[in-house]
Amino acid sequence: MARKSAAFPVGLYGMLLFALSWLTLPMLFAPLERWLVGSACLLPRLASSWLGEPAKAESKAALQLISKMGVELQQRVQDQAFVGTGFFAQAAAAAEAAGAAASAHEQEAADALLMELAQSQQVLCTVRSVRRRGGGGAPSELLLEQTYLELVGCKRLVTKGSALVGFLLQPGQPGAARDSWHDPARIMLANHRYAPRLFAALELRDRERLRFVVRPASIADPAPLVVDLWDEPYRAARLRKGGEPVRTLALGENGVPTGLLLGRTLVWGYESESRDAPALPIGVFLEPAVAAEALSHVVLWRPLQPVEPPPGARQAMREGPTGRQARVRAQRVSATTFELPGVSHGRHLLVTPAAVPDGAAVVQDGLFLGSASGLRFGASLMTSFGTSQRPWSLLFLPRHPGAEPVELRARVEATSAPRDSERGLVRLRWQGPREGQSPVRGRGDLFTGSNGAFCPAGLWIGRASADDYESDLMHVELPGSRGPRHVEVFVAVEEDR
């Protein structure tokens, strides 16, 4: 007689439930994971001592080339960020098109705002990370490398080229109530819950303008922004086709000038049963001109005439950072990588005594190798760029001198693992570029964008070329080498002020 066994193992189901709880509270259980997986790395770490001497850096010529490319990238990013403010011309065109439709008061307000910006200094800021889901389920906040104190006096307006990005928050305001002046500055995007309503206009085919108010959409909506109020609802009801550019109007007191590109329309509604009858639009949404996850740099505006800082900022300047406010910066420390068996996995053992934060970049003299996951017992795990499946913020620098760097959001689709001295080839599927940017064409170099506090922009990945047939595909050639290597990894260091 077959023994009937209980097929309901409570312990096993309890372990699965524990794993689900772990996933909902990752920060709480992160130390447990570091201990468990770190202890499993002890044997490979012991075996690594038989793997030979780690290779040092690339040749001097290669190092100089990587360094030179990094400098060129930074220069071109600055040039394009500061030069691409074509919205001044757009604003003039918009003002002319408005003509008699705009009241004298509106025209005066628009001109005053543009005059203020024209007399301001542009400040290029680096994006550290994106966060907080907002309208449309898209990120609604940017965290900058610069602190609020370093940006004192800057206007709220944040732009990128001729597109509106969002608004600079201030400590104590809604959205940054708990921030201090020494914390990294935060920017709320247009789809943030506390973002102001924006006035915008859409140019129709008959060259008439349809004006409306835009507000942040809800998380479940199909796009980050939604049109709230129309000045001519009956004309708006005849909109069928989306994809039309929408530009801001300087009508409110939110400090947004006329002419900034806000996004493109997305008409949402019921499709008609017959091809002859028009569809029924229910709402009009806006896809932002700027993809937040792809952003590496933004532009803030500081008036040339100094502005009196707020009382909180003056106090913060006097007192300096204390305790929790001590600034943490990323610093490179030496480490050694060893390949783990199974080269197709692209996983490496990273040995360093420093505490490695999750997502830290691993570099070898400017060459980006991959990102690390910190563990215990002096070990971490690194996933090479070519095998990582996480989405990356990247910068593509075309070979053509003076061409604009292109910000992308990409994911590795397929890779051939590098063996011996052969180069690894990676296929990237990317999104972007943002509105107004040049499309990705031809050949160039690929760099990291902003992928967190410990994976800064500007690390060289490899040579890249756009695919000839698929417009959103790119081929990247990774410098390949096997065996242990001396590398550097970004770790957190407290700055003494």
Partner 1 sequence: MSRWFWWFLLAPQTYLAAGLAQDMGLPTFEIGAALCLYLGWFARRSALPWLLLGCAISRALVDEASLPVQILVLGIPVCVLLPLRTLFVAQRWLWQAAFAVLLAYGIPWLAGTFGRLFQEPSLGAQLHGWPVVWSAVFVPPLVWLLRHIPPFVGFTEPEPVFGGTRR
3-state DSSP call for residue 55? strand
Neighbours of 421 (CB within 10 A): 9
Which among 175-183, 247-255, 339-347, 434-442 is the span making contact with partner 1, rule CB under 8 A?
339-347
Structure tokens at 301: 């505006």
Q: What is the rounded distance in angstroms from the CA atom of residue 84 to the CA atom of residue 433?
A: 14
CA-CA-CA-CA torsion sign (246, 247, 252, 255): positive
Q: Which is nearer to partner 1, 24 or 305 (CB)?
A: 24
Do 407 and 395 touch, CB atoms closer than 8 A? yes
Triad 114, 116, 119: Cα angle to 5°: 110
Q: What is the DSSP string of 413-441?
A: EEEE---TTSPEEEEEEEE---TTSPPP-
Do 454 and 25 touch, CB atoms closer than 8 A? no
Fill in the DSSP letter of residue 192.
S
The phi and psi torsions of 71 (rounded to 5 degrees) equal -65, -40
**Applying CB under 8 A, does 101 fall inside the site for partner 1?**
no
**Applying CB under 8 A, does 48 fall inside the site for partner 1?**
no
Position among 286, 367, 381, 459 found at the interface with partner 1 (CB under 8 A): 381
Q: Which is nearer to partner 1, 8 or 270 (CB)?
A: 8
Q: What is the rounded distance in angstroms from the CA atom of residue 273 to the CA atom of residue 267?
A: 17
Of 222, 200, 197, the closest CA to residue 282 belongs to 222
**Applying CB under 8 A, does 346 fall inside the site for partner 1?**
yes
Which among 59-67, 211-219, 301-309, 340-348 is the span making contact with partner 1, rule CB under 8 A?
340-348
**Applying CB under 8 A, does 46 fall inside the site for partner 1?**
no
**Applying CB under 8 A, does 442 fall inside the site for partner 1?**
no
Q: What is the rounded distance in angstroms from the CA atom of residue 462 to the CA atom of residue 363?
A: 13
Structure tokens at 415: 């890779």
**Applying CB under 8 A, does 305 fall inside the site for partner 1?**
no
**Applying CB under 8 A, does 421 fall inside the site for partner 1?**
no
**Applying CB under 8 A, does 31 fall inside the site for partner 1?**
no
Q: Which is nearer to partner 1, 259 or 418 (CB)?
A: 418
Position among 5, 59, 305, 421 found at the interface with partner 1 (CB under 8 A): 5
Count of residues making up the chain: 497
Q: Which is nearer to partner 1, 40 or 229 (CB)?
A: 40
Q: Which is nearer to partner 1, 120 or 481 (CB)?
A: 481
**Applying CB under 8 A, does 377 fall inside the site for partner 1?**
no
Q: Which is nearer to partner 1, 43 or 100 (CB)?
A: 43
3-state DSSP call for residue 32? helix
Q: What is the DSSP string of 20-33?
A: HHHHHSHHHHHHHH
Q: Count interface residues toward partner 1 (CB under 8 A).
A: 45
Q: Which is nearer to partner 1, 141 or 244 (CB)?
A: 141
Q: How far is the CB of 197 from partner 1 (least distance, A)?
A: 31
**Applying CB under 8 A, does 473 fall inside the site for partner 1?**
no
Which among 79-87, 151-159, 232-240, 388-396 is the span making contact with partner 1, rule CB under 8 A?
388-396
**Applying CB under 8 A, does 44 fall inside the site for partner 1?**
yes
Q: Which is nearer to partner 1, 34 or 485 (CB)?
A: 34
Helix boundaries (H) for 308-400 = 311-319
Q: What is the rounded distance in angstroms from the CA atom of residue 476 to the CA atom of residue 390?
A: 16
**Binding residues among 178-207 for partner 1 as defined by CB under 8 A:** none
Q: Which is nearer to partner 1, 47 or 115 (CB)?
A: 47
Position among 243, 323, 341, 401 found at the interface with partner 1 (CB under 8 A): 341
Do 469 and 345 touch, CB atoms closer than 8 A? no
Positions touching partner 1 (CB under 8 A) are: 2-7, 9, 11-16, 18-20, 22-23, 26, 29, 33, 36-37, 39-41, 43-44, 340-347, 373, 381, 383, 387-391, 411
